[in-house]
Amino acid sequence: MSTLVSTLDDHWRATNASAAEAGLSPEEFAALNARWGDVTAEPGAVDYAEINAGGVPALWAVPHDVGGGVIVCMHGGGFIGGSVWTHRKLFGHLAKAAGARALIVEYHHTPMHQHPVQVDQCTDVYGWLLEQGVAARDVAFSGDSAGGGLALTTVLRARQRGLPDPAALLLLSPWTDMTFDYPSIETNRPTDLLFGDPSPADLHGLAALFLGPDGDARDPLASPAFADLVGMPPMYVQVGGAEMLLDDARRLVARAEQAGVAVRLDVVDGQQHTFQFDAGHGDPADAAIARLGAWVSPLIG
């Protein structure tokens, strides 16, 4: 086993073992997992600045050698965890690879704030960015896990508000289907170190907290897998071959292709959910981020 694989894998193993032994609730598990970002190496030559982006807290990650593009980033964490701080290094690496600034959104967590609060906040940030004079053609959206779904639904909500589409989407192990009605939820359970047994990170429970008692798991603004994808921006999807959300990504890509969307899919064999968190420790995470950057850079100026 390489040093890279053991970095993130050992984090998931240690976190899940502690959580299972203590019998933690989903909220307590999220708090335990707050050190998620520690596995990522510092990108170096990236400056960070907290801002208020249209009433929503956000964090700029600005590489020293940067062009005019902006990547609006939605962090993962099952909607109950994660933050700009757990993800600042990951998105800093992505910003460097793309030669662009990253604007990381600090949206509200469940269960205190349920759908559609999160997508509305992300759309508020995008609208604010456009008001600052940044052209939509110079903007990409990115997100990992729950943030990958938010990146897609923010496009949908922005359209409802009459805002232009961004130029591209970068989706890392995206969670886009809250029904979980696909084979890899079971077939990859033995290999998934985050969501597989004996993890307390129950996907159905996370979805219920996000949707609330009256929520619909097939609502396109919650589960963009059920959205009309015609006219969506070009998208690049990366997913680990060992994770339970593998078929979520595959089905999203298949539906996007059927809708005529330009889409690229990387299934990285043997890798875990959001394996890109191992950035700075070598391949395959560094290679994956380099591919994302090379792909999106010409699309956002």
Number of alpha carbons in the 13 Å side-chain half-sphere of residue 25: 5
CATH number for the domain harbouring residue 175: 3.40.50.1820
pLDDT of residue 32: 66
Q: What percent of the chain has pLDDT over 70?
A: 93
Q: What is the mean pLDDT of the chain?
A: 93
Q: Catalytic residue among 142, 145, 173, 184, which? A: 145
Residue type, 57: P
Number of alpha carbons in the 13 Å side-chain half-sphere of residue 296: 37
The tally of domains found in the chain comes to 1
State the Rg of the chain over Cα.
17
- The owner of tokens 């967590």 is 109
Q: Is the pLDDT of residue 5 over 60?
A: no
pLDDT of residue 11: 80
The CA distance from 166 to 160, in Å, is 14
- Helix, strand, or coil (residue 144): strand
Number of alpha carbons in the 13 Å side-chain half-sphere of residue 5: 10
Please name the residue ranges forming H helices in 133-191.
Answer: 146-160, 184-187
Of 221, 201, 197, 198, nearest in space to 209 by CA: 201
Number of alpha carbons in the 13 Å side-chain half-sphere of residue 202: 12
Model pLDDT for residues 143-181, shown as the tens digit of each residue: 999 999 999 999 999 999 999 999 999 999 999 999 999
Range of the structural domain that residue 199 is part of: 3-299
Q: Is the pLDDT of residue 4 over 50?
A: no
The CA distance from 270 to 272, in Å, is 7
The CA distance from 168 to 177, in Å, is 20
Token couple for 180: 């979980």
Active site residue 297: no
Token couple for 64: 């020293």
pLDDT of residue 12: 78
Of 142, 175, 154, nearest in space to 297 by CA: 142
pLDDT of residue 301: 80
Q: Span 86-108, mean pLDDT?
A: 98
pTM over 0.85: yes
Q: Is the pLDDT of residue 1 over 50?
A: no
Model pLDDT for residues 172-220, shown as the tens digit of each residue: 999 999 999 999 999 999 999 989 987 767 899 999 999 999 999 999 9
pLDDT of residue 19: 67
